[in-house]
Amino acid sequence: MFLKSIIFKFIFFTSIILLGVIFLPFLISKDLTFKVVRLWANIIIFALRKILNIKIRFDYSYIKKKSGAIIAANHKSAFDTIYFLTAFDKVIYVVKEELKYLPVYGWYAIRLGNIFINRKRKIESMRKLSKSLEKYIKNGYKVIIFPEGTRQPANRIGDIKPGIFFIQSILKEPIYPIFINSGNVWPKDSLFMKKEDILLKSLKPIKYGLNKDDFKKKLKKAYEQCNYEKKSSELR
């Protein structure tokens, strides 16, 4: 598995550079940019399935008939920032502003219309973010937000940051949680990858109207319940 991990990581990093440079002229168009990024994402997911023999199962029952929606996904690995590009026709991510300045990645992320959060100016960022989100949702986009703020170790759910609550309080839209268990397959800062199926599961939407503490508790509890069910099934 170690050799397969090295091969996969080689494909992952070289494809970013090669495709990113080759298709630079496509940045002239947002639609063409999305097609390039989606092509790259499909290559990575294909490699994950074929080289590492990873099976991916996405239970999207709660969002199957939704057009525009705010999706709050727990964050375990780089997989989480790639897979939705292959799963939805219209998708953008809300990511930290530092990523804007990464060569190649940042160029394409900006052109796609991804939304960048300045963590030092949270209130100002949230106001701008909410206006952008409202526009994207009306246009049928799935907006992906990671409410834990950063990647978490496998089998752990991090604290929910207040940003997702403030977004809901402004937009008055339901939040659609998705649980992802990709942490063991693609661990942070490790060359070694593990052969384990990846589950993505859409959860019952959280409607507008809860106070901040209740909202955060409900979202974290939903993730933790799925995490507990996953660990329990591994022990059987």
**Band of the pLDDT at 217, cuts 50, 70, 90?**
very high
- The whole-model pTM stands at 0.89
**Is the CB of residue 50 less than 8 Å from the CB of residue 8?**
no
In this predicted model, what pLDDT tens digit does every residue of 12-57 receive, in sequence order?
999 999 999 999 999 999 999 999 999 999 999 999 999 999 999 9
Please name the amino acid found at residue 115: I
Q: Where are the domains of the chain?
A: 55-235
In this predicted model, what pLDDT tens digit does every residue of 163-181 receive, in sequence order?
899 888 888 999 999 999 9
What single-letter DSSP state applies at residue 102? S
In this predicted model, what pLDDT tens digit does every residue of 50-100 receive, in sequence order?
999 999 999 988 988 788 999 999 999 999 999 999 999 999 998 888 888
Distance of CA 186 to the CA centre of its chain: 14
